[in-house]
Structure 1
């Protein structure tokens, strides 16, 4: 790629044509990439005498070299900018790092469909509703569907091998089709009602329930009428958090603001006459101009949404007149994202959604500001203790194992805005109960050059003492990674809370014990506790998974991938043991011979 190089003194000689610009720091690292309709005008904005925000001043102070690449149109620049951001992963650009897929509610294609939460959308294997960003909301919806329609949730294998109702059937949370307590026609009717409710057609469901209630009441069947009355109340509870969406269309509302503690973008998804999900995205390091940042976010977000099959017809972007909605639409279309972007609402409904989105965004800004008021003073005091002026991130590592097995290193990240959960990471280690070897292995995995796009922390907090901090320091000396401070939190004798000792390693004084204010101590203990809980959770998940697969590991030719498929398909070893050869053969990757071998092994 041919780039033209300029110094910061040559900004006035930049061409006034479309293109993208790269800001490099003293080490030659790309720290920011932007696009412009007129390069000279846009880049000059960073170096004018007009006052900049503190965050922009921080960016400008690090710029040493500017490189540009010209394009024919601004739309071409937008596409190229998006590609270059993904390639270089600049420190101050918007970069969506959380690639997890969102959950769906699925009604399977079985004659007696099951309702299940899944993150994998396979169009030929049932009806899907979603995606949803709030996991608690999804679980509550499935729970309500069970109460309303008594749909089954068990795996097909478990269903086929029942001789009596399961616990859910016994407490009347499932209609028990496995033992023919309900026939196919009646079950299909309840499934149809569930589909109507999930599709936003609540009126038809409510009408049906009301008709049945009156019918049984007129026939003096008061107990049955009371059941339908309760179903009506449950349906109202199911719908109480929903708002009407644009009629006969799907709509997203995207709002963003560049606040004191970073870029905050909120996306609200309206699907099938309801608010399907709302999620905040926080980029504490994002810098630049708000129109550029929102454009960068939308290009990445909607390419990600396209891969998971959920695109709206329209996206309403609020409050940013500099944006050109048609440009975003035209750039996304060649990427397979066919949506219509607009900046102003054109209906009363859209004005209502826009107002609601702006109120919710203000609440999000307030929430992040409150978190910053708690963490910011502690960050400043801690940075001052190390004679630094400004800290962005503190990472904390904790090692967990079970008698030397399933060793896991967990690393959490905190900023002045609190926990950065999208940057939490766990690492599987083969180091047994050797704490020092585990620390060395963690450092290699976490900080090797090509491991991830995560920015290095200002400080790494270690749950340990002098030995652990020395081990990590020696390991870091063998690697090419950015410098950061090391701080160890050592448990007090008898593990008495509040009496922990803190050790720091500096080149001038070696390892020395430090004293901190109560504000800093509370924050460090909170971060340490987060890392500890995260490590235990991940280690237990690893242990549980290994326990399930231990028996199957003994079958010749059955590898980890097919064991995972078996456990996912049947839900556990109990169901696998009950399965027939034919049922085992239905699992992806399991041949008939392998199914026979599994069956014979489990029934020997």
Structure 2
């Protein structure tokens, strides 16, 4: 138990709004909270006798209390959530959803471009979203291409086309790059696409039907047929939407939280333009012992602050969100409504989201049960203690020694941990020397961990045979990391899955587990993930190296010609997209040199 005496600190706390932080003896932040009255709120932790086991455990570790006074409860809410995201305290519920959500964007050009976008928003463009994932955006782009034939090509390609591309031929683009469509007609298509994205499909269909009849009445049958095709395509799109809304607001988020079997799940459903564009299930860190209402309040604050907010948020929380509503409305520049007791179709949406949250919990429990069986089988096969669960696996990837990259993937807490994956660029070795590459990556990673900077693994998997594992043994002895079990995963004689041999140097033994072994399946999964991650890193490094030096390495292309090429085509990607005839149009580039440039870049 902690010997910390809070009385001197409690006596000095003001009766003002602010944020408080509980710190451990090591200086780690254990918990961050907000209060309208700091003195009353912090004192209540040490005066109550009916605290939950989680709170009692936290208080037993407290060695210091820090506070920050602010002007209002709203400011306290902002500061609290900023600190939670930055510090990730052990006893706060934390939604790790740092990745920005994707948007569909229509650029502000004379011929607007339809594109996938993720990042900061620019007022010059029109954005629609956000969407729950990239698939939902790309599906919407494909639908809009079929119906409205808007361009999706990069500006550098669009500005230098001499003839329409394949998309024009297959009727997925109207060909504005070569003026196959007038500016007025293209703007009309853009306007119709915006109407559709804003949920005004009914008005759009009525407008198109009127134009079709007018064109037919004027004997302009080709134009009428084009309107007819658009109407039919729109009707098919509407048929595919399994959820649609007739409500006045076309954008809404549905947020449902479920708590079952010690797991907390929040299901986020996005309604955009009156269409259900997808959902996402989120499992918070440190969610044990929290009820649904507390978890939902934490999600609403952490998720929507500093993010694009729809006009309506429907959730299954009955608490008072007045402060949060005020903050979100100020952030959005318009009124935001949080509806906790919905009716009609909103209730149907919420019930569907709640059902999905419960299904996600059931799936997570099933997966954890499978993973638990696998890790227990591995512990038994390798003679590991019951506490062993962290596994790190290494692989090397290169192309004949070029752009060598090592990967390290991590399996922990009954699952792969992508945020802990690392790429290591290997330099200063003989190209193609896998042993030297393995030595370098292991030294760089475990040299720091042996000194206390990082988490030591229970098992280290090396994708390779006795040569690679021999190098690994030397490195582990040199850095002084003795507790981890080294295991080499060598392919069998025929290199078929299921015939892998496990080399365990500390026991001087080689194991071959049965093909149906749960332990072998876990090792194969981790090994294959390390292989995939290594190849991804290698290709990225190789591509970057080749692209950055491609023009400089072409004989006959000096600084002046290189500058002219890059200026004419808007960058290296534009040069790569140019044909030989287009390259010849650049001052100082004859046909022979143009062909040489084209061959070098392709």
Settle same-fold status: TM greater than 0.5: yes
3-state DSSP of counterpart to 1:256: strand
Contact 1:311-1:339 within 8 A present in 2 as well: no
1:154-165 to 2 correspondences below 5 Å: 154-165=153-164
Partner of 2:462: 462
Matches of 1:516 and 1:565, distance apart in 2: 61
The one of 426, 430, 436 equivalent to 1:429 is 426
**C-alpha deviation, 1:525, in angstroms:** 0.8
Of 19, 28, 31, the residue aligned with 1:30 is 28
2:353 to 353, 357, 363: 357
- Return the alpha-carbon distance in structure 2 between the equivalents of residues 197 and 406 of structure 1: 47
1:11-410 correspondence to structure 2 within 5 Å: 20-22=20-22, 24=24, 28=26, 30=28, 32-35=30-33, 38-39=41-42, 60=57, 64-70=61-67, 78-79=77-78, 81-90=80-89, 93-95=92-94, 99-211=98-210, 230-239=229-238, 240-241=240-241, 242-244=243-245, 247-248=248-249, 250-260=251-261, 262-283=263-284, 286-287=287-288, 289-290=290-291, 293-305=295-307, 310-319=308-317, 324-329=320-325, 340=336, 342=338, 344-383=340-379, 385-390=382-387, 393-410=390-407
Cα deviations across residues 58-113 of structure 1 (Å, max 9, x unaligned)?
x9499745533346687676555434444444456555656443332222222222
Secondary structure of 2:550's aligned partner: helix
CA distance in 2, matches of 1:482, 1:108: 57
Query: Is this contact kept in 1: 2:96–2:284, CA < 8 A?
Result: no
Quote the Cα distance in structure 1 between the aligned partners of 2:142 and 2:164: 19
- Taking the aligned partners of 2:325 and 2:475, their CA distance within structure 1 comes to 49
CA shift for structure 1 position 115? 1.7
Per-residue CA shift, 1:530-567, capped at 9, x if unaligned?
222232233223333433333234565999xx999988
**Superposition deviation, residue 359 in structure 1:** 1.6
Instruction: Report the counterpart of residue 527 of structure 2 in structure 1.
Output: 528
CA distance in 2, matches of 1:332, 1:187: 37
Moved more, 405-414 or 281-290: 281-290
Aligned partners of 2:60 and 2:471: how far apart in 1?
A: 35
Aligned mates of 2:329, 2:444 — CA distance in 1: 38
- The DSSP-based 3-state class of the residue aligned with 1:400 is strand
In the alignment, what sits opposite 2:489? 489
Aligned-residue offset at 1:285: 5.4
Relative to 1, partners in 2 of residues 1:491 and 1:329: Cα closer, same or farther, differing over 3 Å? same
Q: 1:289 is paired with a residue of what secondary structure? A: coil
Query: What is the CA-CA distance between 1:368 and the residue it aligns to?
Result: 1.8
Q: Secondary structure at the match of 1:494?
A: coil
Contact 2:58 2:91 in 1 (8 A): no
CA distance in 1, matches of 2:568, 2:295: 41
**The 10-residue stretch of structure 1 (417-426 or 350-359) with the greater mean CA deviation from structure 2:** 417-426
Q: Is residue 393–residue 460 contact of structure 2 (8 Å, CA) maintained in 1?
A: yes
The root-mean-square deviation of aligned C-alpha atoms, in Å, is 4.8
Contact 2:405 2:534 in 1 (8 A): yes
Determine the structure 2 residue equivalent to 1:596: none
Number of residue pairs matched by the alignment: 562
- What's the CA shift for 1:14? 9.6
> Are the counterparts in 2 of residues 161 and 578 from structure 1 also a CA contact under 8 Å?
no
Check 1:138–1:333 CA distance in 2 against 1; reply closer, same or farther (3 A cut): closer
Distance 2:561 2:436 in 1: 31
Call closer, same or farther: CA 1:205–1:437 in 2, change over 3 Å: farther
Question: How much has 1:209 moved relative to structure 2?
Answer: 3.7
Query: Partner of 2:140: helix, strand, or coil?
Result: helix
Q: Matched residues in 2 for 1:182 and 1:467: separation?
A: 64
SS of alignment partner, residue 33 of structure 1? strand
Which residue of structure 2 lines up, in the alignment, with residue 591 of structure 1? none
Partner residue in 2 for 1:592 = none
Deviations 1:352-411 (A, max 9, x none): 332222122122222222322321211233345554334565443322111111222333
Q: Which sections of structure 2, spanning at least 5 residues, go unmatched?
A: 36-40, 588-593
CA distance in 2, matches of 1:553, 1:350: 60
SS at match of 1:7: coil
Match of 2:576 in 1: 573
Contact map agreement 1:114 1:153 (CA 8 A) in 2: yes
Contact 1:251 1:315 in 2 (8 A): yes
Deviation at 1:187, TM superposition (A): 1.6
Q: Using the alignment, how far apart are the partners of 2:477 and 2:305 within structure 1?
A: 40
CA displacement at 1:148 relative to structure 2 = 1.0
Closer, same or farther: CA 62–42 of 1 in aligned 2, 3 Å: closer
- Cα distance in 2 for partners of 1:475, 1:356 equals 54
Q: Determine the C-alpha separation between the residues in 2 that align with 1:198 and 1:583.
A: 41
TM, length-normalised to structure 1: 0.75
Between the aligned partners of 2:482 and 2:59, the Cα distance in structure 1 is 16
CA distance in 2, matches of 1:95, 1:233: 47
Change in CA separation of 1:318 and 1:197 when aligned onto 2, cut-off 3 Å: same
Check if 1:7 corresponds to 2:5.
no
- Deviation per CA, 1:157-177, whole angstroms, max 9, x where unpaired? 323333322222222222222
Which is worse superposed, 252-261 or 265-274? 252-261
| Higher mean C-alpha deviation, range 436-445 or range 124-133 | 436-445
Unaligned runs of 5+ in 1: 1-5, 585-598
Maintained 8 Å contact 2:312/2:338? yes
Q: Distance in 2 between matches of 1:232 and 1:145?
A: 13
Q: What is the aligned partner in structure 1 of residue 590 from structure 2?
A: none
Would you say the 8 A contact 2:255–2:269 is kept in 1? yes
Q: 1:84 to 1:157 in 2, by over 3 A?
A: closer
Could you tell me how far 1:521 is from its partner in structure 2?
A: 0.9
Matched residue, 1:537: 536
Structure 1 residue 136: Cα displacement: 1.9
Q: Distance in 1 between matches of 2:47 and 2:443?
A: 41
